Amino acid sequence: MSALTVRIDPHVHSEGSYDAHDPVELILEQAAEIGLDAVVITDHDVIDESLRAAQLAPMYGLVGIPGVEVSTADGHLLALGVEELPPRRRPLDETARWVRERGGVAIVPHPFQRSRHGIGRRRLGRYHDAAGGDAFDAIETYNSWLFTGYKNRRARRFAAKRQYPGVAGSDAHKVGYVGRAYTEIDIPDVSRASLTADDILDAVRNGSTEVQGRRTPIPTSTKHYAGAAGRKSAYYAKRGALGSALLAKKGAFKSGYYAKLGALKSGSLAKTGVAQAARMLYRMSPLSR
């Protein structure tokens, strides 16, 4: 059996992140439409939406892989394949070890970009040396959310010199940017039907990765983002229609409830009024004396 080529975007944000707004259903739909095999929701320091996306992924023909972008004491770290939130604000090496002990893959995203909580070169080098060259599993050597390619080139040189696998991620915060950069992985002796998250994670650890983040031709890019915009409009129109129907149903229920409550109150008040009138007549009559 020849090697299977798998395409994965390991760095995407959903509405679970404080700085993103799109639901995981829309992201999964976009990933499937553009030909990805997996997309990892890596929200900032929260994992609920990623776990949900991993469960929903097979419905879209995708492999489900949970993950999170966790804030360490030194900067951000991508934790792929974990099902609980790693401890926050701990040293990078400690957090990476926690991830790996639980079967996850620890990837350093957008290194050297201090404005985006990327880990600095000297600090990253110290952790590498202290761990004997095995501080984490991979380096994000292409992040599409950059103004220039300078930091990506630095990350690529760092990873190559220290023999870390390089991965590419879109770091998408909007659905139209999903897959703008992705990682291609060759996995031997596996079919697409039998492909699992563990197969993909093992291949990343083994370095069977190729970075894909070259500039997309304008016509292709236009079609890509136009398709995403159309899917987003359709999604929110459908959700709006469902919301309106639900509100109408709730409104009808409330109207019926309050009408019934009003009738009951009216009957109760009428009954109370008759009783009070009877008592007043009794007090006014000679029989009460």
The pLDDT tens digits for 136-179 are 999 999 999 876 688 999 999 999 999 999 999 999 999 999 99
Mean pLDDT (the chain, rounded): 85
Overall pTM surpassing 0.85 (yes/no): no
Predicted confidence at residue 275, as pLDDT, reads 54
Q: What is the pLDDT of residue 177?
A: 93
Which phi and psi (to 5°) does residue 211 adopt?
-80, 130
pLDDT per residue over 108-139, tens digit each? Answer: 999 998 778 889 899 999 999 999 999 999 99
What pLDDT, on a 0 to 100 scale, did the predictor assign at position 270? 52
- Mean pLDDT for 4-17 is 97
Query: pLDDT band at 221, cuts 50/70/90?
Result: very low
pLDDT at 241: 67
Residues 3-26: b if buried by 16+ CB within 10 A, e if exposed: ebebbbbbbbbbebbeebebbbbb
Question: Hey, where are the domains in the chain?
Answer: 3-216
CA 276 to CA 256: how far, in whole Å? 30
3-state SS assignment for residue 228: helix
pLDDT (tens digit, 9 = 90+) per residue, 34-51?
999 999 999 999 999 999
Query: In the chain, how long is the greatest CA-to-CA distance?
Result: 112
In whole angstroms, what is the distance from residue 80 CA to residue 103 CA? 9
3-216: CATH number: 3.20.20.140
